[in-house]
Structures are given as structure tokens and as C-alpha cells.
């Protein structure tokens, strides 16, 4: 399958990597929307939130554990936002589930 984030997660394409284990990879977004902006993706291809099910949801829980660990390491003490865009209206551009972690400035709510 020709999937950008499958290739980045497998190390077949370069990225500014922050964390990696057997299941997931975290790397900085190429077009940051905040002073801190990284993405966490599963190595397994899951297209969107709509594809989360009982067979793969432990992987999603693991992603949140990794996010909590990285937030502590990066000292995001003032807070951060986790975003997973799903589908056309959300602005999802890459069809491999990913979790944006944004921090380092006051984040407006509601988002645009």
C-alpha cells in the first residue's frame, strides 16, 4: 500500500523522530501549527477513527500512554491539545490515523 505514514513509521521515509517502539512512532509535523507540534501514529495501518474496533483499540490506548509520557518529557506543563482529524470536513489529509499533539501557545477554542 502506498501510504505516507506507513512509510515514515517503517523508517522507509525520513522524519524528525521523537519516539519509537514496536507499535508506534512519534515525529515532528513538517508544517507545524504551534511551537510544539508532533504526530503519533501506529505502525499498523488504520485509516481513521472510524476503523477503530475491539481488535485494535489497545493500540489506540497505547498511543495515549505514549502521548502522556512525551508530554512529561517535553515538560508541556501548561497544557497541550490532541487532535485526530477524521474525514473530509475535518481536513484530514493523510489516510493513516494520526494524533496531532500541539503545545507551546494558547490554543483557541473552538478550533477553526
Where on the chain is the footprint of ligand 5GP (CB under 6 A)? 4, 15, 27, 29-31, 85, 91-94
Question: Which residue of the set 37, 45, 96, 98 is catalytic?
Answer: 98
Judge whether 98 counts as a catalytic residue. Answer: yes
Rounded CA gap, 66 and 64, in Å?
Answer: 5
The single residue listed with the C-alpha cell 499533539 is: 101
User: All 3 cell numbers of residue 99?
Assistant: 494524533
Smallest distance, Å, CB 5 to ligand 5GP?
8
Smallest distance, Å, CB 112 to Zn ion?
26
Cβ atoms of 80 and 100 within 8 Å: the answer is: no
Smallest distance, Å, CB 91 to ligand 5GP?
5
Q: Which one-letter DSSP state was computed for residue 108?
A: P
96 binds, among ligand 5GP, Zn ion, none (CB under 5 to 8 A by kind): Zn ion
The reply on whether position 25 binds Zn ion by CB under 5 A is: no
| Burial status of residue 80 (CB atoms within 10 A of its CB: 0-12, 13-18, 19 or more) | buried
What is the set of active-site residues? Answer: 98
Residues that bind Zn ion (CB under 5 A): 3, 6, 45, 96
Amino acid at each position: 500500500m502506498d501510504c505516507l505514514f506507513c512509510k515514515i513509521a517503517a523508517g522507509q521515509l525520513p522524519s524528525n523522530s521523537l519516539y519509537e517502539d514496536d507499535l508506534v512512532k512519534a515525529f515532528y509535523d513538517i508544517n507545524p501549527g504551534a511551537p510544539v507540534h508532533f504526530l503519533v501514529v501506529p505502525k499498523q495501518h488504520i485509516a481513521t477513527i472510524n476503523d477503530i474496533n475491539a481488535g485494535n483499540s489497545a493500540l489506540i490506548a497505547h498511543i495515549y500512554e505514549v502521548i502522556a509520557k512525551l508530554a512529561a518529557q517535553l515538560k508541556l506543563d501548561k497544557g497541550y491539545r490532541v487532535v485526530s482529524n477524521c474525514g473530509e470536513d475535518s481536513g484530514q489529509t493523510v489516510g493513516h490515523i494520526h494524533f496531532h499533539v500541539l503545545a507551546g501557545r494558547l490554543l483557541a477554542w473552538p478550533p477553526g
